[in-house]
Amino acid sequence: MSDTSAPDDSDRTEIYDLLTAYAFGLDRRDFARVASVFTEDAEVHNVFDAYLSEGEKFSGLTTGGSAVADGARQLFSNLDATQHLLGAQSVDITDTGAKASTQIVAHHHRGTDYYHTGGTYEDDLVRTPDGWRISRRTLRISWTTGSPQVFLAP
């Protein structure tokens, strides 16, 4: 696709597929797939609502699709299973790219212990020669249940 092509339903479908590829990439531990949904200079911000004390451990900025994938690989290394569920989604095509908002619920399990989170991905996307890619993501976590120790314990 060129940067001058007019947006249509195929753009939205490609973006929805891209967002789904990220979730499947995480859950299948396909970190090359995770990296591929981002531009190499993408900025990914993790933000927890202020009342969630564990946000200090998990909030921050990561730059680049490869760095996002490497961070996920490290974070998930002690987990037995994850499932990232995508909920309501909206995509708006703009003159310079696209904006997407996706509700998420993420389940993280190790043995019988768990840590579940809920929130929203807020994405800026750009059209590249390889298709749509996320150039900026803010993950806003609004609730959690279980123990973040699932990630932190050896």
Q: What is the pLDDT of residues 22-71, one digit of tens each?
A: 999 999 999 999 999 999 999 999 999 988 888 888 889 999 999 999 99
Is pLDDT above 70 for 2? no
| Position 143 in a domain | yes
> Which structural domain, as residue segments, surrounds residue 24?
9-152
Please, what is the Cα angle at 142 between 98 and 96, to 5 degrees?
A: 10
As for how many domains the chain has, the answer is 1
Residue 108 parent element (H or E): strand 98-110
**In angstroms, rounded to a whole number, what is the distance separating the alpha carbons of residues 116 and 100?**
23
- CATH classification of the domain holding 103: 3.10.450.50
pLDDT at 3 over 50: no
How far apart (Å, rounded) are the C-alpha atoms in residues 128 and 86? 24
pLDDT band with cut points at 50, 70 and 90 for residue 7:
low
pLDDT of residue 51: 86
Query: How far, in Å, CA of 19 to CA of 122, rounded?
Result: 11
Q: Would 3 be classed as within a structural domain?
A: no
User: Is the predicted pLDDT of residue 5 greater than 60, yes or no?
Assistant: no
pTM (global) more than 0.75: yes
Tell me: pLDDT of 132 over 50.
Answer: yes
Instruction: List the 113-128 sheet strands across, edge first.
Output: 60-63, 38-48, 131-146, 113-128, 98-110, 81-93
Whether pLDDT at 1 is above 70: no
Q: What local confidence, expressed as pLDDT, does residue 57 receive?
A: 83
Q: Over the chain, what is the mean pLDDT?
A: 93
